[in-house]
Amino acid sequence: MQIQPKASHFIDGEYVEDTTGEAIEVIYPFTGEVVAKVHAATPAIIDRALTAAARAQKEWASWTGTERGRVLRRAADIMRERNHDLSVLETYDTGKPYQETSVADATSGADALEYFGGLAGSLTGEHIPLAGGDFVYTRREPLGVCLGIGAWNYPTQIASWKGAPALACGNAMVFKPSETTPLCALKVAEILHEAGAPAGTYNVVQGMGAVGAALINDPRVAKVSLTGSVPTGQKVYAAAAAGVRHVTMELGGKSPIVIFDDADLENAVSGAILGNFYSTGQVCSNGTRVFVQKGIKDAFLARMTERLKGVVMGDPQDPAVNFGPMVSANQRDIVMGFVKKGVAEGARLVTGGHAIDGPGFFIEPTVFADVTDDMTIATDEIFGPVLSVLDFDTEEEALARANDTPFGLAASVFTKDLTRAHRMAAGFEAGTCYINTHNLAPVEAPFGGSKLSGVGRENSKLAIEHYSEMKGVYVAMTDVEAPF
Ligand code: NAD
């Protein structure tokens, strides 16, 4: 399989190269070897992408929603047909196990293309009757050229989750992937154009933060949708504000999982595994603060330790492997810094806690117990396989402590008490909540954060609101009355 892309960028329906841009090496996190190389976009490339997108958007928006939807649904079919190759590529790009990527990445991208493809034909305005037979009708219109900026943990999914609703509404997109995982978004662009999107409708340009910043500042950009960390979100939001551009911000988190004594232990442990160790912990909505009621704590820790014996590390391309390396040496070192802080600040290391020698960037799945709210591992986003168990006594206490964070991405509760489950869900200050599970993100449901974790929602019908705007048209049916 070809890992090196045909060229760095995908603009106006074709691969485009400009080797004068800074080189970006793609490193396979299992071997530490360079498996591909691309170049950051130069100002000429950025201009070319925006020019193509601005031109293509006019044509694309003139198609009916049904016609646009047909292209998106065709793209979904192609993506599913190529799931194996796309999953292998996603694994090279990120180091996530093929066991995961083959069911969670291109498949999730295809779901988004299919779902928003299905909605495209039914995007309409409304009719508002007024006195004297006058009326207003509203037209749902695209915003124009939308800029997508991606994080490195879900490169195919992020490129699709932003592209599908944007294109369904008649926008064009310029997408800048993370410089750490530049490969997969190119495939999304390729597939959309193969499915019949006019040249220039979906473009990909590579680069570091500076390329993203240059794109945001261009007046041709109408909207910015970022998936990234809070500090980057603050910069991007401020830059977008200067141009009064629309934004969607999918940012970081420090989400709670609250497990009551009456919870189904096996499900609670499974939820905490999904919420801490899936994608080696590199998931924004992870429930890294696991509040466990005192009566179930020992049983929870014992069962978690037991279940972690099922971890299989190795080459993530091997379908038997279920736990991959960190995306980069840098991310491994950041996470190990947090682990050392956890120990230094007095948390009890139950299992794991070490980086593993070798070319791959592995860290053992790590569980801390006796963690208190003020410890760094309980306050900061770690973005690695580090689970912290915090004890609690009462529901009231658990909810207050779960909410005592500037983040608000996700939250979950495990209990068999129905009324308590809904009370907790209502009380959580988080955009995406779960009862008796964690970290599922079906395209039909809204996904996004409150507080510092973000602005706007991806997926579900709500995403349409973030990629279109309503124009009101007043229609007078009687003569105009003027004072003179
Ligand atoms: P990051 O913030 O370092 O980078 C995100 C993207 O922003 C990259 O493409 C980067 O090049 C770009 N960027 C950086 N500075 C910029 C600037 N000044 N202007 C424009 N673009 C700029 O994030 P990351 O390390 O790639 O990803 C990890 C973070 O993303 C974590 O905090 C995680 O929680 C978050 N995340 C959130 C979600 C979500 O849906 N809420 C999903 C995945 C990841």
Q: Where are the alpha helices (DSSP H) in 313-427?
A: 329-344, 376-379, 395-403, 418-427
Measure CA of the first residue to CA of the last residue in the chain; give whole Å: 76
H or E segment and range at residue 348: strand 348-351
Asked whether 65 and 120 are in contact (CB, 8 A), the reply is: yes
What span, in angstroms and rounded, lies between the C-alpha atoms of 198 and 16? 17
Q: At what angle do helices 83-94 and 155-168 cross, to 10 degrees?
A: 120
Q: Answer yes or no: is the C-beta of 250 below 6 A from any ligand 1 atom.
A: yes
3 state DSSP class of 168: helix
Ligand 1 centroid to residue 249 C-alpha, Å: 10
Tokens representing residue 188 in the block: 């999304």
Residues 6+ apart with CB under 8 A from 123: 65, 140, 168, 169, 464, 468
Residue 221 predicted with pLDDT over 90: yes
Catalytic member of 100, 190, 250, 381: 250
* Mean pLDDT along residues 329-344: 98
Residue 342 predicted with pLDDT over 80: yes
> Of 117, 124, 115, 116, which is closest to residue 69 (Cα–Cα)?
117
CA distances from 395 to 261, 275, 298 (A): 11, 21, 19
pLDDT for 359: 85
Ligand 1 centroid to residue 151 C-alpha, Å: 4
pLDDT for 281: 98
Q: Is 250 a catalytic residue?
A: yes
Q: Answer yes or no: is the C-beta of 454 below 6 A from any ligand 1 atom.
A: yes
What span, in angstroms and rounded, lies between the C-alpha atoms of 447 and 456? 9
* Mean pLDDT along residues 432-441: 97
Residue-wise burial string across 81-110, b where 16 or more C-beta atoms lie within 10 A, e elsewhere = ebbeebbbbbbbbbbbbbbbbbebbbbbbb
Q: Answer yes or no: is the C-beta of 235 below 6 A from any ligand 1 atom.
A: yes
Report the residue among 206, 225, 227 best suited for mutation to probe ligand 1: largest number of ligand atoms under 8 A from its CB: 227
Q: Is 284 a catalytic residue?
A: yes
H or E segment and range at residue 15: strand 14-16
Residue 358 predicted with pLDDT over 80: no
Rounded to the nearest 5°, which phi and psi values hold at 328?
-155, 165
Rounded to the nearest 5°, which phi and psi values hold at 350?
-90, -40
Return the residue whose CA atom lies nearest to atom 13 of ligand 1. Answer: 209
With 0-12 / 13-18 / 19 or more C-beta atoms within 10 angstroms meaning exposed / middle / buried, residue 164 is buried
pLDDT for 1: 75
Ligand 1 centroid to residue 232 C-alpha, Å: 6
Report the residue among 162, 176, 284, 439 best suited for mutation to probe ligand 1: largest number of ligand atoms under 8 A from its CB: 284
pLDDT classification of 345: cutoffs 50, 70, 90: very high
CB atoms < 10 A from the CB of 24, how many?
Answer: 18
- What are 379-383's contacts with CB under 8 Å, separation 24+? 379/254, 379/405, 380/254, 380/338, 381/229, 381/230, 381/252, 381/253, 381/254, 381/288, 381/407, 382/281, 382/288, 382/334, 382/335, 382/338, 383/252, 383/281, 383/282, 383/331, 383/334, 383/335
> Of 170, 153, 154, which is closest to residue 328 (Cα–Cα)?
153
pLDDT classification of 2: cutoffs 50, 70, 90: confident
What's the per-residue H, E or C state across 31-87?
A: CCEEEEEEECCCHHHHHHHHHHHHHHHHHHHHCCHHHHHHHHHHHHHHHHHCHHHHH
Residue 134 predicted with pLDDT over 80: yes
Ligand 1 centroid to residue 206 C-alpha, Å: 14
- 13-43 residue pLDDT tens: 999 999 999 999 999 999 999 999 999 999 9
What span, in angstroms and rounded, lies between the C-alpha atoms of 13 and 56? 10
Return the residue whose CA atom lies nearest to atom 8 of ligand 1. Answer: 178
Q: Answer yes or no: is the C-beta of 449 below 6 A from any ligand 1 atom.
A: yes
Rounded to the nearest 5°, which phi and psi values hold at 126?
-140, 170
> Of 38, 128, 120, which is closest to residue 76 (Cα–Cα)?
120
Tokens 């691969």, residue?
A: 15
* Mean pLDDT along residues 187-215: 98
Q: Answer yes or no: is the C-beta of 213 below 6 A from any ligand 1 atom.
A: yes
Q: Answer yes or no: is the C-beta of 155 below 6 A from any ligand 1 atom.
A: no
The number of the ligand 1 atom at minimal distance from the alpha carbon of 177 is 9
* Mean pLDDT along residues 66-73: 98
Asked whether 47 and 83 are in contact (CB, 8 A), the reply is: no
> What is the rounded average pLDDT for all residues in the chain?
98
Ligand 1 centroid to residue 12 C-alpha, Å: 25
pLDDT for 61: 98
Residue 152 predicted with pLDDT over 90: yes
Return the residue whose CA atom lies nearest to atom 35 of ligand 1. Answer: 228
Q: Answer yes or no: is the C-beta of 12 below 6 A from any ligand 1 atom.
A: no
pLDDT classification of 187: cutoffs 50, 70, 90: very high
Catalytic member of 96, 162, 223, 254: 162
**CA count, 13 A, side-chain hemisphere, 205:** 33
pLDDT for 29: 98
What span, in angstroms and rounded, lies between the C-alpha atoms of 148 and 172? 10
What span, in angstroms and rounded, lies between the C-alpha atoms of 444 and 104? 15
Q: Answer yes or no: is the C-beta of 179 below 6 A from any ligand 1 atom.
A: yes
pTM of the model: 0.97
